[in-house]
Amino acid sequence: MDITTVRFEKPEELNFILGQSHFIKTVEDLHEAVVQASPTIKFGIAFCESSGPRLVRWSGNDQELIDLAVKNARAIGAGHSFLILLREGFPINVLNAVKMVPEVCRIYCATANPVEVVVGETEQGRAILGVVDGGSPLGVEDEEDIAERKAMLRRFGYKL
C-alpha cells in the first residue's frame, strides 16, 4: 500500500464536511439533508462513486462550491467518499442532519481549518485513512483563554 496526503484546497473562510457513504443516492440525500437543516446555506457536494461507471457525482446550490467540491473529490479519489463545502453557515448547522442520512457511514472531519487527507492506495483503489485537521496544540488554555472562548461562543449565538 502506498500512503500519501492530499491537501484539501479551499479559501480560508470556507467550512467543509468530509465523510464516507455507501450508495449512489448519497448525493440527493445529502442535498436534501443540508437544505432541510439550513435553507439559506450555500453549498456544493461531491461524491466518489466506487462501482459501475465510478463517476464523481455532484449537487448543490452554489456553482463555485460545487466545482471546488468536485476538484477536491477527484484529488482524494477514494471510493464512497463525499465532500460538502459550505458558505453562509457552519458544519454545526447541518452536521446532525448529514449524520442521520441512512447511507452515511462516517464523518472524518467538519472544519474550516487547513486539512490534509491521508490516503492509502492499493491496486484496487484509494481509501481515506484519516485527516490532519489544523495544527497541533501549542499549550493549555489559561483563565483568560477560557473567558475568550466563552465570549466567542456567545458572540456567535451558540451559548446564552
CATH code assigned at 149: 3.40.1520.10
Q: pLDDT band for 157, please (50, 70, 90 cuts).
A: confident
Domain for residue 41, yes or no? Answer: yes
Per-residue pLDDT, 156: 84
Q: Is the pLDDT of residue 38 over 90?
A: yes
Query: Of 25, 10, 26, 37, nearest to 91 (Cα)?
Result: 37
Distance from C-alpha of 138 to C-alpha of 85, rounded to nearest angstrom: 28
Q: Is the pLDDT of residue 55 over 90?
A: yes
Q: Which residues does 144 contact at the CB level (< 8 Å), separation at least 6?
A: none
Domain for residue 132, yes or no? Answer: yes
Distance from C-alpha of 154 to C-alpha of 75, rounded to nearest angstrom: 37
Domain for residue 65, yes or no? Answer: yes
Domain for residue 160, yes or no? Answer: no
Kindly report, residue by residue over 8-17, the tens digit of the pLDDT: 999 999 999 9
Kindly report, residue by residue over 70-108, the tens digit of the pLDDT: 999 999 999 999 999 999 999 999 999 999 999 999 999
Domain for residue 37, yes or no? Answer: yes
pTM above 0.85, yes or no: yes
Q: pLDDT band for 159, please (50, 70, 90 cuts).
A: confident
Residue 69's H or E segment, with its range, is: helix 63-76
Pairwise pLDDT comparison (24 vs 118), residue with the higher score = 118
Q: Is the pLDDT of residue 122 over 90?
A: yes
Domain for residue 108, yes or no? Answer: yes
Distance from C-alpha of 107 to C-alpha of 123, rounded to nearest angstrom: 25
Domain count, the chain: 1
* Full residue range of the structural domain in which residue 101 is found: 2-155
Domain for residue 11, yes or no? Answer: yes
Domain for residue 125, yes or no? Answer: yes
